[in-house]
Structure 1
């Protein structure tokens, strides 16, 4: 008996131990560990508390053999310091946790098709049920090698028709911002864009140009940044030296922060002399001086939809190859925009 007891202690607590401590059945413990929804919240909390008290961790390999699921989602991202990537990753992790899944993340050094494909290969050999690609950047459906049977969802509209995709309405958001500035009376709108290798940045450039052209307004030369406040500050000084610049749409809110700094140093008052609009809707934007008008993205909803599309493939076996969900953006008007003098 002593030997059997020692062996049990070395192997760790069992599902039966958790069930006994929580006062539920082993089947209920199994449902909680799988993240299934048919468990009452108070019961789920008791089971989770018992798991924590005992130090119980579900066996992923055993779960996969029994249920065909590891309970883990793979995720590939690039440049997590950027707002869009970090907020999307955070939203996916939260949405996955709510559905009973953990996330294994690979952060790429470069967005090349080879690096993305290599990361996919590494993850696909691990115990994952499906894959979320936050942004493939310069990779295309033709250059990105993905395992045929691995459920995949991409936060990138360029993969529509090849893989399920979820993204913000970049075009609609830019049109709202540009039209807002034109309606205030600005003759045209200058654009400080993101990098040329970014899909969202190029979508925003195209929407900016199209909106100005459709309105019969001059289309200035685009200024290319790199999403950072430092680039906004540097390019902002050049824009501040041009008296014809009265309205600027920035690639994101961080870039707009640098532009506001540059205009302040140059003596160009915002919004009296020049109006500035950002993109993303970060929390800091409303606390800038002046508070920043911005196009807000709903990153939480993007994360929820990415996980939902992925788990519909994992759990239900749905073929969602052509699925494309676009999450609306909204214009948040604050004190950084006003009619030109």
Structure 2
């Protein structure tokens, strides 16, 4: 009998949770504890155990940092740690962060110098959260997040990247080096594969800059040109030189679109305003090729959505998408946001 099946282990884990005062989500906490015990009984090497322990500890620290702000929309801003103050890129990041903070958003950064410091400066300490990485050289956390306590330090890039992406409902990427490109391509990969809910992504450059347009050419000519991605895979991002356009893209994405949920093979889109019959017909005409069968239809909350009562009052569209149509979701969402029935102003999005 394995440790996972031994009732004595279950009793011991439950006793440990009782002693620690764990009252909620006990089944999930038990899974975590059982996995730890399993690592011990598997004869796992010491280095692997150290990696696991540090990763879980880091995630716990990060979850605790973000927990007080669970109801506040967040945007993550990526960019080079080497960008100097007064560089047009610095000023652009600062302006975007300031504009979003004024509208109630929190700004998440890697807590380092350069673009990260510019974004934290624009947002201000009360609207900044920092997730730094411990490196042997180059990057140190900036004072704007460390002095306010809105900061957590990570040893591993993979735990840091999780927290820089997990909580945010929008992303702004400015030119940078390997780290910035890694973060940008991870976002594009998560969106392309549907492993991440649709969110707005802005690639912001300096006035007259060629950084992101150069990437666009490479993606179009080399990746799409050789069939490695779909021709429109980069259409989900906005490339701009304007801080105002970046802010409008982040906030406008949530004008009418609220959230989505898969129910079996059906995809439910929750909206802020009920579309008319004519608007649904237009959506079917424009985006009907996304549907595996049938088309878009208005619906009441499905039975499977009963565990999300906070969304029960929202209008809905349901359809059965072709699996490869997930890349089209951004175009559909933008169309939903432009419907005449959509609210006049973007609302602050809610965590999904």
Same fold judged by TM-score > 0.5? no
Work out which structure has the larger RCO, using CA pairs closer than 8 Å and 6 or more positions apart in sequence.
Answer: 1
